[in-house]
A and B are shown apart, each in its own frame.
Chain A
Amino acid sequence: MTSHQWIRITDAANIPARQGRAVTVSGRELAIFNLGDRFVAIENSCPHRGGPLCDGIVTGTSVVCPLHGWKVDLDSGAVERPTLADCVATVPARVEDGIILLDVSALAAQQRVTAA
């Protein structure tokens, strides 16, 4: 069982409502989104051609890639296209005392899998 590793990222006020911002953690570029009632984080790279997802328009709980319009579900990381199985890594996020924290243990685990 992996133990959680929550690290403090930034003041919640730094990410405006319904927008995303990029942050680099452990050498991985992530996109954190403010969904109004909560924050979510995913890998900042579109499975299509690597578009910066943090710059996309948020629609409900998905983001639309700014380059060619692929739609990525922010909770599951899944691409909402019927024929595609592509998926973006998701990272657990929470807010404590106004600071956004990310659980990067998941990230490390995924990285290990990729590396293996």
Chain B
Amino acid sequence: MQDDVTRLVVVGNGMAGIACLEQILKHARPFSVHVFGDEPHVNYNRILLSSVLAGEKSDSAIVLNDAGWYERHGVILRRGVRIDSIDLDARTVSGSDGSATGWDKLVLATGSSAFLPPIEGLNKDGVFAFRNLDDTRALLERSRPGLPAVVIGGGLLGLEAARGLQVQGCQVTVVHLMDTLMERQLDSAGGRYLTDKMERMGIRVLLGRQTRAVLGNGHAEGLRFADGETVEAGLVVVAAGIRPNAELARRAGLKVNRGVVVNDYMETSHPDVFAVGECVEHNGVYYGLVAPLLEQGKVLAATISGNRGPRFEAVAPAATLKIMGVDVFSAGETGAEPGEADVIRYEDPSLGIYKKLVLRDSRLAGVILVGDTSDSGRYAGWLRQQTDLSAQRRQLLFPPPSQDQGFDVASIADSETVCGCMGVSKGSIIQAIHEKGVNTLAQLKETTRASTSCGSCTTMCRQILQAVAPEFEDQVRRTICKCLPFTEDRLREMLRGQQIKSVQEVLDIYGNGAGCEVCKPALSYMMDMLWCGGHDEDRSARFINDRVHANIQRDGTFSVVPRMRGGVTSPGELRRIADAADKYNVRMVKVTGSQRIDLLGVRKEDLPRIWADIGMPSGQAYTKGTRMVKTCVGTDFCRFGTQNSIQAGIELERRLENLFTPHKVKMGVVGCPRNCAEATVKDIGLVGQEGSWQVVVGGAAGKSVRKADLLVTVETTEAALEAAEIFFQYYRENANYLERTYDFVERLGIEKIRKETVYAAEPARRQLLSRLHKAKQYARDAWLEGTQPVDPTQFIQIQPLETAYR
């Protein structure tokens, strides 16, 4: 029989089996390939189940090989079919559907199952494992706000399950047998930092508890521990470890200890049966993380396709906790204490950062990073290559002062794996850059899958891009301030997924708990934008202007600018303004540069009354929000007018007023290209012409002058207004705080903005509009607080209950 006409059967349609099959198909073309998977799904990224549970990813977003992939490669996938037995003599496998399938070469890739500790009542309704997509769906279905949920097990999996359930609204407790969370990866100090983070997030952590029984009548209601203590639990997740699925192999007569025993070539005790993945035991070790399993797959692919030679070598895999904002990285030997090895530690309790490096003979033996994992790539590299660190002893905890960005990159071999999760080597990244024209991290993710799972290789990927890609533009952005160690992009992503609705909560969980004048207003904006106004408003996080809805001036008084839509007013309004100016001794009444009127020098306690007297809404002249729409007279009066600019301007102002933005948004609408209201130097401008409108964005005539870019030309006024609304919302969602449109448009480029706004697919445009409209529903004229203050002393000075005697 020839090697290339064998019938290949793979048992297990999971990550290791299919990754190995992908490799085999590169080497050889078997006569037939059957894959049996007892799950009803195609191969998906199991790692990302945590993200599915936390609502960050959809089911379809984690598919690794879709049905088309199997088809294209002539692989027959038998989903939902379990292999019950193997006949080594007849060379067949029999499936749960009664089928018998012959093989010449057999690959076992059955993975593992949740280890179930001896706890009474695990069969009760409401007790789950967290291993596959169906478990995840069941958990999503069961979880609901307020439900007390308990996760048994404080390892990687248990903590990720806990956070996911919490995001779904459950009241979560993690129960751990040991005294340290993730004790296999952390030392006790690292564990304390992690416990602290979890508790600050609102997840209760009970350490040193041995669970004895699930309580409840048929349905889980609580847990009882060895010491008799009990906790309430309507939902229980068992994440106490894994057990290799080796029963099938054992019954067939293959050599099995805890897992299916293989040698360095991934061969089992039968010459034509091989095994790969979590079901395998190699030199007494079985692995529960993807990176080494993918290595096994490569070795097996070589063996099975007649290129026997590469050997699987034991590795110390690195672990990353995938909870957004709770950054934990651990690799190698981490438990060593000073005295046993060189131990270097760094702690910042207020920011929750803990780092520990274990060195032996000036080489890195282990590393723990909690709270800040930005340097994990560098440490992983040192660990892998066993770099001699004698010369860098003083800089181990800080980024290298290296001028040459390419240095780190140049020092790794092409064959070396960069993305452990997806098994992508440095060579294949470079190949993608050259052959597929990859220039950005996003493109790299799309073409190679690198950096799509746990994210710990992102820094390294970025460095390679920087060194190799001709047109690489780094998308890194600065963090807001020192209180919070995240970029705004990352924060938005984190908060969106995690149902955090108040500024103080963000600071408590992710920051130093205090916040400052820089991050508090920025976070306030982010909360308002993400929850479309449905956040928990915290006035202490707002600048004074946004507490009293007026602009503070040099003497501590305030200015009042009522909304005058489109710059159009009436005798009645002007009379009321004039009367109020007299009544409150306003120091100056001034026509502003934005076509409206400013009353300057009003005392804080007079604000509510002056607003009431004027009887006009707030012009938001004091805040980062919709300022105004300047208009020209247009077709109604002007002999050159081609469009009704006043009407369009007033309508635009109505649609966007009372909304907040990353920085102020000023607009203009003009009836013809003579541009009398300066629309082409506004954040958003509508320029009328015969039979159409040009919608322009990103203009400026302030600190700098910039002519706005053309976003789109449309025929009707409604279409022009809608284009403006779509851009407005896109700016709200994507700009950094205090980034005016002129910087934003320049940074992203108008082509990209067009693609993602006016030229985006219909559903994407609808979604932008519907989020805008939702925010608009919550939006209120801030001056209504004049009669309904948010607290009794919002505008007034405190009057002492008694006076001092002398």
Contacts and interface: CB of A to CB of B under 8 A. Distances in A.
Interface string A19-35: 10111111000001000
B192 interface: no
Given A10-B798, A10-B801, A55 B516 contact: no
8 contacts: A7-B802, A21-B797, A22-B797, A23-B798, A24-B800, A57-B516, A57-B517, A59-B520
Contacts of B542: 57
Nearest to B503: A18
B797 A99 contact: no
B792 to A, nearest CB: 6
A64 to B, nearest CB: 4
Nearest to B555: A50
Among B515, B520, B544, the most chain A Cβ lie within 10 Å of the Cβ of B544
A14 B792 contact: yes
Contacts of B226: none
Contact of A32 (B504, B543, B544, B798): B798
Closest 7 A/B residue pairs (Cβ): A18-B540, A60-B514, A55-B544, A59-B516, A23-B798, A64-B517, A57-B517
Given A17-B540, A64-B517, A25 B547 contact: no
Interface residues of B, number: 33
Contacts of A59: 514-517, 520
Interface in B289-309: none
**From DSSP, what is the main secondary structure of chain B's interface residues?**
loop
Contact of B541 (A5, A50, A57): A57
A15 interface: yes
Contact of B800 (A9, A18, A50, A108): A9
B804 interface: yes
Contacts of A19: 539-540, 547
Size class of A's contact patch? 35 or more
Interface string B506-531: 00000010111100110000000000
Residue among B516, B540, B798 with the highest chain A CB neighbour number at 10 A: B798
A9 B801 contact: yes
Contact of B797 (A23, A49, A66, A104): A23
Contacts of B504: 18
B383 to A, nearest CB: 37
A51 to B, nearest CB: 7
Interface of B: 504, 512, 514-517, 520-521, 538-544, 547, 552, 554-556, 791-793, 797-806
B793 A66 contact: no
A5 B803 CA distance: 11
B556 A108 contact: no
A98 to B, nearest CB: 12
B554 A49 contact: yes
A23 B514 CA distance: 25
A55 B799 contact: no
Given A58-B540, A59-B515, A66-B543, A21 B798 contact: yes
A35 B805 CA distance: 28
Nearest to A8: B801
A57 to B, nearest CB: 4
A14 B799 CA distance: 11
B556 A52 contact: yes
Interface in A75-116: 99, 104, 107-108
B670 to A, nearest CB: 36
Contacts of B520: 57, 59
B514 A10 contact: no
Which of A10, A17, A57 has the most B CB atoms < 10 Å from its CB?
A57
